[in-house]
Structure 1
């Protein structure tokens, strides 16, 4: 039975091109995609699950967790629990004030963590092959803080799950609650997300980089929240200003993916045209093909849960070819 939150669209009224859409449906059934939802104009236009269990399964959303961390930072800012994005992270990690630590690290701010521009040597998309080595460490936070600097803070975006874990640690320090408890109270409960799981490190800090598990439908709720400017059932969960700030393209390092904002990716719909409100989409992306894609001009949210660990960008390619092109 479908939730009232996702009333089923009348197929005759959907704005998606039927032929392209049929081809999209055929393609994903031949991929290691376990779930796909398309919500448009507030209606569930498409729902696919590899089997019945997948609809209720807590999916490993992997790095889509990072976009949830972004929302939580926005909520903490709205509540005055965090002073601002220009706050040096040394305010939360006094270790950085020690004489033995590179003094440049004291200029790293929350903004640098959110944009992944602290300057750390962190080859996650290189020799580490999308698996950050902090996971092997007994103290993840210290592992990240101890990484040498290759660039000045703010100069270059380099994909870094350690940034996200530091943000989780900062949330815990700033709110006096675990990241998970803060999320439950201020995000999950308002969105009626009842079933979830969030892994933590050896110090009890929930993994900000990829530790969250949710159902595909609950993943979609984050897309709806952002499409509605941070509102949920007429309640402002996170400020509209934060939503807009976090999705704006700020750095561009990975052409195959897009530009990076505050723990959100974004890209133009038509690369031949300028970047405007009607010509962009933004998304959360997780290793293995996990996605929450939002297309404001089409009032559309697309969610993928996948097991494509050798082809993480495959769902994004299918979305670009068959869904964006189907309008």
Structure 2
């Protein structure tokens, strides 16, 4: 299977939600879906076969096989036209998913899970997957109200170009509008605007607003011609990136973020902003790494 979407499952309700979204993403792309479970028990050297004293359908291996079969059936019932395969892979979840991301177009995971994906998006493990995946990572979060638009956070950095491209492509596949959001403050505008002592900006805030508007225009340049069917709206707000993105997620079907950037999005996947979005966004979140960040 060449182009395909990968979804990590562990039998939890959250992972089944991820299966649904992954099946829809595969359908939009016209590609296959691979359902993957990281089977950690062999690494612990525990018995995998049924106990002689228990039912023949028992045992950790049989439980894992049934869980995978349930996930596959769930995917097929969600999108019957999508070709679905499955894999039970021995290994630690993050290592398994990172390896799968090398040949996938998208990896989809739930926010919380059990078994193989316990705490996948809690703490440092979420940062690890977003920072090291070789393809975009889509984190499934409950949407508080129906929405159709895609939102992408931009900062004008080269590292963020891949996220913008992904957002345009996603909006085109979904047939939905795209909002390009840029958040700035007096402390994350270009450094050339700083006074010599770095304490404040010499330009009035109105001039900085104009400068930030031009930055977004540069992001749009060329892409609107590539995706003529995508209706775009750009928003330049004087606000912290974390607050602006969480607020925008309330009216979004998907928020797209770059792995790293400048200004308001610097260290997005290494600090408080990434944690805030992973834990508090009101819709699914896609994290896209630029090619210059991939190993």
Fold similarity call, TM over 0.5: no
Higher radius of gyration, 1 or 2:
2
TM-score, normalising length from structure 1?
A: 0.27
Q: Which has the higher contact order (CA 8 A, sep 6+)?
A: 1
TM-score, normalising length from structure 2?
A: 0.29
